[in-house]
Chain A
Amino acid sequence: MEGKIISTENKKPVVALYGLTCCAGCQLEILDLEDELLDILGKINLVQFRMGSSAKHPGPYDICFVEGSVTNEEELAQLKELRKKSKILIALGACATTGGVNALRNGRNIEELKQTVYSDASHLRTLPEILPLKEHVSIDYELQGCPISGEEFIELLTALLTGATPQEKNYAVCVECRIKENVCLMKEGELCLGPITRAGCGARCPSVGFPCEGCWGPVPQANVTSEIEMFSQKGASFDTVVRKFRMFNASSEDFMKELKRRLNIEWL
């Protein structure tokens, strides 16, 4: 990666925002920063943002954000092109960082899936497996979550624009839950992925009484074995464990490797 991108009055970094296959919720999360949006737009030169602008800019870009997954060859070519054109390439959200719900197709028979949704599926070209963007090209930074958190977006952008080093959160959702003094849902008998999921969301789901579904992806050195054991102790069936782990992480090697080993199944 080349040097730092610093924003000054005379030279604002050229920024692009692209979407591959997804729900557009991460781009929307940026637009949803209603109180900060005009300030942000004053610090960068946002030249490409198809959802919000009919202006086009071929690049190169100082910073390029990409949300969504690569689902076909065209998108793969586009991602490679964006890598070439961008000093800093940032993957936005679960679809781009762990495959998200798009990766639920992984391990299934793609022809059968296509047939289920489209009665004549012959004209559809789609990849059988969804991978995190970093498996296709090198990625400089990742913002996790389904969708990303607007606050983390501002933190990262601010760091890049001021020359600071972006802080990585290498602790689990449980830490954020403790800070909020939430009742532990695991202790209430729920199946919560908080112990093995990266923090950053502010423990959003447990804070409103819903167990963590793992959309921020694996925390570094996640103790997957112990999590599987805790789930089984709570009476979760084989099938339930697999489903919970796969929901946003069917493409996360950290989760799937241990699950495959423990459950001795190949198709995951």
Chain B
Amino acid sequence: MALVTLDIHHLARVEGHGDLFVEIQKGKEPRVEMRVTEGTRLFEAFLREHCYSEVSHIMSRICGICSHSHAVAALRAVEAAMQIEPDPQTIQLRKLMLIGDMLESHALHINFLALPDYLGARNVVEMLPQYRKEVKRALQLKKLGNDLMELIGGRHTHPLCAVVGGFTHVPTSAQLQSIRKRFHSAIPDAEAQIELMGSFNEPKLVRRSQYLAVRHPTEYPIHDGVLATDKGLQIPAHEYQNLIEERNVPYAHAKFSEIKGEPYVAGSLARLNVASNQLSDNAKRMASKVGLKLPSYDIFQMNLGQAVEYLHYLEHALEILDDLINQDLEAKVVYHKIRAGRSAAAVEAPRGVLIHQYRLNARGKVLAADVITPTAMNYANIEADVRALAPELLELSKEEAELRLNMLIRAYDPCISCSVHYVQTI
């Protein structure tokens, strides 16, 4: 085809509402617009009437799929603003909440959103006749993440008992033992999931971008650390505004973002490219077994990357559970003084770096809030990838080109309702 115009309305098998418009003509710069059509949600604005203790419950409602990540990011940012130091037990429990989110969301994305394309199906129901075993396995891997969130947060969507300064409820040792057993016996299934995703070699799109993750000195990205890129840039999380630049685009209800004037990637591939040496030994072994070479600049390997991460996070959870089982956990909230302040925190959500920032007054009321989600971080990079894919698209039929573009966008695992926020300087 000499001219390709593709207008994909309502991207399917992604969370939220978005369209992609592409116009490619030989010898011309392709026109690419990632149109974010999700209704406006105005969280940062209406949060202003609320009190510091209500922030995490409201902000978790930004997203059903990564509600625990939003809750933990909100709690950590509020605590930083009020100079509250959570105790080690609280930090360990919050790590489990974040890992639960990772496991549930990765299993959902790998198997139900990404995998059907690789198997020529439109959804998981169409996969059932041939792949019933794989679907059942996927459901159990997904459930494991949900059950961990339920146990620690009190509910698997929109956590309840994680509050500023601690937890209002903690699991018993017996409950931790029982989930530990299930986590341990899921290792072979997590390995099988890597082998399955590692068996697909096509499609590919190799383009070196920048990769951003939350880097910690001793553990693979999850709960806290500095914002770091694979090109060696590094900045404390609360100074994120000095690293990440944002701009308006007329066709999206979300802001697009860049680092040093260039698009960048957040998500599994970014974490792997920044911190692959911190993966569990078993995850490293499986990655090399299926031929995942890191760093990788092939964006389609986000899917395989998530499968490798699933195994890593499962094993990280086991370490934390082992540690907690030997302690007598108690529901406690550290004493804190309400005071004015402003700070930010960054965590790793399933789709990548998630930043929350709050400014509070002396009565603990929110004066201003700012959220940058990984999906918003990825929009500019998605457009750059589509441009890079353009010459190949000209060789394909319209149906094939549409499928390729859908697969590309799905590889980012976008969470569009998360992304319709916007940053103001606070």
Contacts and interface: CB of A to CB of B under 8 A. Distances in A.
B142 A24 contact: no
Interface in B298-345: 331
Interface in A81-139: 100-102, 104-105, 108, 112-114, 116-120, 123-124, 126
B421 interface: yes
Contacts of A35: 139, 143
A27 B417 CA distance: 13
Contacts of B169: 208-210
A24 B417 contact: yes
B284 interface: no
Interface string A222-261: 0000000000000000001001000100000000000000
Contacts of A147: 64, 157-158
Interface stretch (A3-11, A45-53, A157-165): A45-53
A55 to B, nearest CB: 4
A152 interface: no
Contacts of A240: 51
A54 B406 contact: yes
Contact of B155 (A51, A113, A204, A243): A204
B61 to A, nearest CB: 5
A265 interface: no
Given A34-B143, A52-B13, A113-B46, A26 B64 contact: yes
Interface stretch (A15-23, A58-66, A170-178, A192-200): A15-23
B112 A52 contact: yes
A38 to B, nearest CB: 7
A123 B154 CA distance: 40
Interface in B43-67: 43-46, 48-51, 54, 57-58, 61-65, 67
A20 B417 CA distance: 10
Interface residues of A, number: 60
Contacts of B406: 54
- The residue in B125, B140, B163 that gathers the most chain A C-beta atoms within 10 A of its C-beta is B125
B63 A21 contact: no
Contacts of B48: 116
Interface in B114-130: 116, 122-125, 128
Given A21-B39, A32-B157, A53-B125, A105 B46 contact: yes
A37 B13 contact: no
A146 B61 contact: yes
A31 interface: yes
A105 B250 CA distance: 24
B64 A24 contact: yes
Contacts of A112: 45
B124 A52 contact: yes
B42 A105 contact: yes
Contact of B422 (A37, A105, A118, A146): A118
Contact of B161 (A20, A75, A210): A210
Given A34-B140, A114-B40, A146-B61, A209 B168 contact: yes
Interface string B160-182: 11010000110000000000000
Contacts of A118: 40, 248, 253, 422
A116 B371 CA distance: 13
A102 B54 CA distance: 15
Interface string A28-42: 110110110110010
A169 B366 CA distance: 36
Nearest to B132: A38
B154 A204 contact: yes
Interface in B233-278: 248, 250, 253
A46 B169 CA distance: 38
Interface of A: 19-29, 31-32, 34-35, 37-38, 41, 46, 49-56, 69, 71-72, 75, 100-102, 104-105, 108, 112-114, 116-120, 123-124, 126, 146-147, 204-205, 207-210, 213, 240, 243, 247
Given A41-B125, A51-B12, A56-B12, 16 more contacts: A23-B67, A25-B61, A25-B63, A26-B64, A31-B112, A53-B13, A55-B122, A71-B39, A117-B40, A118-B253, A146-B61, A204-B155, A205-B154, A208-B160, A247-B57, A247-B58
Interface of B: 10, 12-17, 38-46, 48-51, 54, 57-58, 61-65, 67, 104, 108, 112-113, 116, 122-125, 128, 135-136, 139-140, 142-143, 146, 154-158, 160-161, 163, 168-169, 248, 250, 253, 331, 406, 417, 421-422, 424
30 contacts: A19-B17, A21-B40, A22-B64, A23-B63, A24-B15, A25-B63, A29-B157, A31-B112, A34-B139, A34-B143, A34-B146, A37-B139, A50-B12, A51-B14, A72-B39, A100-B61, A101-B43, A102-B41, A108-B45, A108-B46, A108-B49, A117-B42, A117-B44, A208-B160, A208-B169, A209-B161, A210-B163, A243-B51, A243-B54, A247-B57
